[in-house]
Chains A and B, each alone.
Chain A
Amino acid sequence: MSPVASSSAGRAGGGGPRLSVRGLKKRFGPTQALGGVDLEVRAGEVHALVGENGAGKSTLLKALAGVHAPDEGEMRLEGVRHAPRDPAAARAAGLAIIHQELALAPHLTIAENLFLGREPRRGLLVDRRAMAERARAALATVGREQLDPQRLVATLPPADRQLVEIARALAQDVRVLVLDEPTSSLTQQDVDPLLQRLRALAASGVAVVYVSHVFEELFAVADRYTVLRDGRTVTSGAMSDIDHDGLVAAMVGREIGDMYRRSDVVPGLPRDEVLAIEDVSGRALPIGASLSLRRGEVLGLAGLVGAGRTELLRCVFGLDEVRSGRVRIAGLERVGTPRERVGTPRASWAAGVGMLSEDRKHEGLMLQRSLADNLWLPCLSRRARGGFVSSRGLERDAVAWLERLGVKARGPGQAARELSGGNQQKVALARLLAAECDVLLLDEPTRGVDVGAKAELYARIDELAHRDGRAVLVVSSYLPELLGLCDRVAVVSRGRLLPPRPIAGLGEHALLTAMTTGVFAGGAA
């Protein structure tokens, strides 16, 4: 590893690395979570930490934060041994971690959140004026000085909450700032300003560790990278010396030939229309959406977060109220006005429509229940004899579905929370298969899923549509995914659904323009 000329190498005062980790090991019972991790982060750089789910990134972050004490190895912060007893100690040493799930109190104001636990005081009371002033200064460090410090955090959009959290970290003396998937709840629009902020922060001398699955961001923001695989550091170096494929190969330990797969439809499959949405409007979103979905196709819904993509799926599925319009689902008996026949998720499952939620942890799965419980929940009534089900039978029959989707688990009785994100998502998808759904509504199916698992999910979705002849409607914020996976893509812009277009001739640029402006710029009809 030769020293790399990063854009801010000159500011890395003190000679040695800001943060260094050597030979870190940590074992949980039978699993070796970390088996020798080395990491070196310099002052003034953005350092990309990458690895598949289960590679040991979160364990490493927890060791840095003082949540877990490592079994072996050494961590040094500015040359001083770093062995925090708890997160507060790590924070006091100058290491701040911003987690994927935001840790703000929604019912407090921005200012109160920024100074929670160390409010400026006047006697026994909080000095509100001083707090507001300092809050404004703190917000300025993340370029959001126009936000009102007295605003409740609950009213902020996700992007601003993310920035408030970063501002909170910066309001104290921070030497190393670690961001764990900071953009997972942000739209493309919000990502770029955040990355610029991080570059500016690094330039001011902070060492930034950036954990993400989104390679485009890593290449845009990071100076150097470290790749973890199976609990070990496998390689590290300068971002300029590696490309996308090289990074993927290092993470996966093998070449992923083609992430995406779009087979031709098996000849002879019926291609009848299974879902027709006619002029559907919801409570606020969507507005007058019309769409037709056939067997054997994957139809993508692109759009900014908040444009109404998720709401459209929820209206179709019966989770959100349909105010006007019609949703028709294949088969005579399933035709009806939305309120009557398609009005509840229960009726949707019965009609062969299944939905995968974007919120895996709260809506997608019952985390503390077993995989079998999660898998069979929609079809318990169907499987029951006289109102009773056999739990042994459920577990036995779950095995085949879990295997079919390649879920890595001890068995169908294991609790869902013990699985990695990718495997959890496969369980949630398996549920739609076990329920024998013809129409699959997938909301952000690969969110928080690592590269290897993503490729598998893509392959499964491709099979389902093009080989088994099911119809798939997929919402995604990740445009390459939509372009690689779908046959047609429809854009949702501010609640309005533009007519779907075949994928041929569509590019990211055209989609992005349509998402933001609501019209396709020129191009094919």
Chain B
Amino acid sequence: MKAGWLRAAGPLLGLLCVWSLFALTAGSKFMSWSNQELMLLQTAVVGTAAVGATWIIVSGGIDLSVGANIALSSMVGAWLLRDGHGFVVAASGSIATGAAVGWLIGALVVGHLVRALLTAATAALLRYAAHAIGVGEPWAAMVGAAGGAGTWWAMRRLPWRLPLSPFIVTLGLWGALRGLAKGLGGQQPIYFEADDTLRAVMQPGPLLPPGVWVMLGTAAIAALLLKRSVFGRHTVALGSSRDTARLCGVDLGRTELSVYVLGCGCAGIAAVMQTSFLSMGDPMTGQGYELKAIAAAVIGGASLTGGEGAIFGTLLGALIMTVVDNGCTKLELDNWVQEVVTGAIIVGAVALDRWRQSRAS
């Protein structure tokens, strides 16, 4: 417990430093309450996705497809809205898409290539068949999902295993998901009639925009799960030493699969916010978010070799990057300056963390 707070102290100090620097140089333009609110809002999408990325990194994995996943999930939500569905269906669709992508990544990483392909094929076929007999969305998609789940379960004793590295799997999906997102809209963005609930997600409310609360809530649940739940402890064990976890009876396959489903589910939540922010579904959105999410996790104290990471540290890391972006804009500095500064902060934060660790041991 104590160690966790100490680890969060570094990023918190960093955030205060960066914030104070801009407060001194940019003055009231930067310091206004509405700008604080804006910065929190600007953090919400990447911050939520970064919570999921942290979970994946702690387990010893990596997800390079976060940005493309956000685009695809956002397109699915926009597509549902265009077809006249309400906010609840659209948001559920986005989150389910994100989680489904996570399931696919997890299945491939764990080694269920054949099982995953057959499952996906069954789901697609069933959905197509449901359409053919006149079942509308989202019911057809649900029929497909149920059929897929059944196939997945029926093949649980399939002996073939071909574990793949998450780096490679998500590098492939980084391109493939973006392609799917474009295909869904026929290379075009999907426009829909404005939905009041959706718009409110990213609008300044009486206290803070709901999207910011969603980010904080997601982080709080993730932090609690990671620290206290059996599943969370198994995730940490998996990232610390895979062999030890296996020896101690941790179900590696189930844990890893769940990690990716939850982690990418966070990207689905982020996609809902992105759709609200843009008021449309844009297949080209979220480019580079995967690296921002990883950077936030690393600034927050996560180790890319696994086993270490702090959910709230990640949020602070994401905030640091937003403050730099926003502050540089307020100072009317060119875009390239903030890019250089952000890059320097990432390397600096990790160097600082290593230095601290080497002194401690």
Contacts and interface: CB of A to CB of B under 8 A. Distances in A.
Contact of A345 (B1, B228, B248): B248
* Residue picked from B227, B244, B251, most chain A C-beta under 10 Å: B244
A389 B228 contact: yes
B249 A345 contact: yes
A62 interface: no
Contacts of A377: 233, 237, 244-245, 248, 250
Contacts of B230: 380-381, 384, 387-389
Interface string A344-366: 11111110000101010011111
A346 B227 contact: no
Nearest to B243: A363
B218 interface: no
Nearest to A383: B230
Contact of B1 (A319, A378, A389, A391): A391
Contacts of A364: 244, 247
A362 B243 contact: yes
Nearest to A348: B249
A418 B361 contact: yes
Contacts of A344: 249, 251
A366 B361 contact: no
- Judged by DSSP, the binding face of A is helix
A349 B229 contact: no
Interface string B211-251: 00000000000000001111101101100110111111111
A373 to B, nearest CB: 7
A369 interface: yes
A390 interface: yes
A363 B241 contact: yes
B307 interface: yes
* Residue picked from A364, A365, A377, A413, most chain B C-beta under 10 Å: A377
A355 to B, nearest CB: 6
A387 B231 contact: yes
Contacts of B244: 357, 362-366, 374, 377
Contacts of B307: 366, 368-369
Interface in B6-28: none
B227 A349 contact: no
Contacts of A390: 228
Given A362-B241, A365-B241, A369-B307, A355 B227 contact: no
A67 interface: no
A175 interface: no
B243 A380 contact: no
17 contacts: A345-B248, A345-B249, A357-B243, A357-B247, A363-B241, A366-B241, A366-B245, A368-B307, A369-B236, A373-B233, A377-B237, A377-B248, A378-B249, A381-B230, A387-B231, A389-B229, A418-B361
Interface of B: 1, 3, 227-231, 233-234, 236-237, 240-241, 243-251, 307-308, 361
